[in-house]
Amino acid sequence: MSAPSFRDYLFQPDHPRVAKVRGLDARSYAEAAKDDPFAGPMIEGWKKLYPQPFTGVTSDGVVREGLFPLADALPGEQAPTQHMVAAAEKLLALASLEHVSRLSYPVAAHEWQSWANPEFMQHDTGLRLDELDPALRDAALAVVEASLSPEGYALARNLMRINGFLGDLVDLPLLMNEYSYNFALYGVPSETEPWGWQLFGHHVALNCLVAGSQLVVSPVFLGAEPDIIDAGPHEGVKVFKERIRWARELMAELPDQLRAEAVIFEHMEDPAMPEGRLHPGDERHLAGCFQDNRVIPYEGIPVSSMPASALALLDRIVEDSISYLPAGPRAARLREIQEHYAETWFSWIGGWEGEEAFYFRVQSPVAIVELDHHTGVFLNNDIPAPFHMHTVVRTPNGNDYGRALVKQYAAS
C-alpha cells in the first residue's frame, strides 16, 4: 500500500478553514483564535494550566528526588558552553535596549512555561523572529546553532522551513513562515552559572538550559505538517522517516503476546479511550505544552521484557529522538536513559504495518519520548495520517527547563 500524499488533502482556497484567517498575522490571529471553534477551547484549557507553579511531570504525582545531580560533566560529555556564551553575547551586543528588555528573563522565570506549538501565539514571550531585522534574527538563531548538534540544528531549521512551505501552500504566509517563532533568553550568559534560551512556534519548541558543563534541552516539541517539501528551493526535505520506520520494525520484532500487551488502544480514535484521553490539539500525546505538572502513569510493557532485536531498535529510536543534543551531552543523556531501562515502559496505539498511523511512548523516571500521527489542521485529513506528526521529549521528575539543576545551584 502506497503512502497517502498530503497534496490530496489541500483545502480549496475559499474553504472557511483558510479563507477566514487569510491576511491575518500572528498578533491579529492570536485574538481571532480565541473565538475559533478549534483553537478557542484549547486556549481556554491551557490558560488554566499555565499559572500553575512548576513541579514536573511524574508517573504518580510524587517527584522522585536525586535523579539529576548538579556536577561537572564527565570528560567527553561537556556542553559547548563557551560557544553558547559567545553567541549569546553577540546577540545582546547587537540588540537595542528595548530588544534586550523584551528578550531577557530571570533564569527561573515562569515564562519558561509559556511555550506552545500551535500556529497561534498564545504568549508573546521574548522576541518574534519574523519581526526582527535579518542580522538580529540570525544572531538569535546562532545561539540555537551553538547549542545543538549540527543535525539537530538542521532538523529544527528544516521544520521551520516546512512551516513556511505550509504557509505558502495555504496562502497564509503572514501567519506561518520560516521565522514565525519566538525567542527568549533566561539568565545571564555565563560559563559557570545556569542560563538558557527558548525558541517556540508552530511545530518547533526547544528549551535549553546550560549549567557549567551540563546541558539540558527539555521540553522539546518537534513536528511537521506535511513531513516533506516537494517543491521550491528546499525541495527534498524529509523528516522523521527513519524514526517511524524503526518504530514499525520494533513492533514487528516483538513476540505476538508482548506486542498485544504493548498496544494500549487498537485504534487511534478508539471508543475504549476514557473521556479526556483524546485531546483536540495534542490528540494522543500527553507531554506537550502546558503539561509541565502532568501525572502520566506507566503503560504498556517493560522494556526489560523486549527481545534483544527490539531493544536494539529502541536504542536507535531513543538516540534519534535526542539527536538535537551535541555529541557530548547526547552521550550523557543516552547513558542516563539506558541506565534506567529497568524502569522504562513502552506503549503503542494504532496499527504498525504498512503506512498505518500510530502513537508510541517510551517512559522512565528520567525521560518521556513520544511520537503521534495526527489529523489535519491546515490539511483536511480527518483521520490521523503519516504526513502529520508531533514528537515530544520531556525530562520528568523536575528537570524540564533544567529546573532541578537551577534549584541546586541556587541552594549551593
Q: Nearest Cα to 287, choosing from 213, 380, 222?
A: 222
The pair phi, psi for residue 211, each rounded to 5°, is -130, 95
Looking at residue 38, its pLDDT comes to: 84
Pairing of strands 195-201, 127-128: unpaired
Looking at residue 37, its pLDDT comes to: 86
Instruction: Please state the pTM of the whole predicted model.
Output: 0.97
Looking at residue 389, its pLDDT comes to: 98
N-term to C-term CA, the chain: 59
Element at 302 (helix H, strand E): strand 301-302
Catalogue the E-assigned strands of 64-180: 104-105, 127-128
Distance CA 17, CA 188 (A): 43
Looking at residue 2, its pLDDT comes to: 62
Looking at residue 78, its pLDDT comes to: 98
Run means of pLDDT, 10 residues per run, the chain, 412 residues: 83 94 91 88 93 97 98 98 98 98 98 96 96 98 98 98 98 96 98 98 98 98 98 97 98 98 98 95 97 98 98 98 98 98 98 96 99 97 97 98 98 94
Looking at residue 4, its pLDDT comes to: 77
Local structure of 218: helix, strand or coil: strand
Q: Supply 257's cell numbers.
A: 503476546
Distances 411 to 21, 70, 157, 404, 406 between C-alpha atoms, Å? 49, 11, 37, 11, 9
Dihedral of alpha carbons 208, 209, 214, 217, sign: negative
Looking at residue 228, its pLDDT comes to: 98
Q: Are 111 and 161 in contact (CB under 8 A)?
A: no
How many CB atoms neighbour CB 76 within 10 A?
Answer: 9
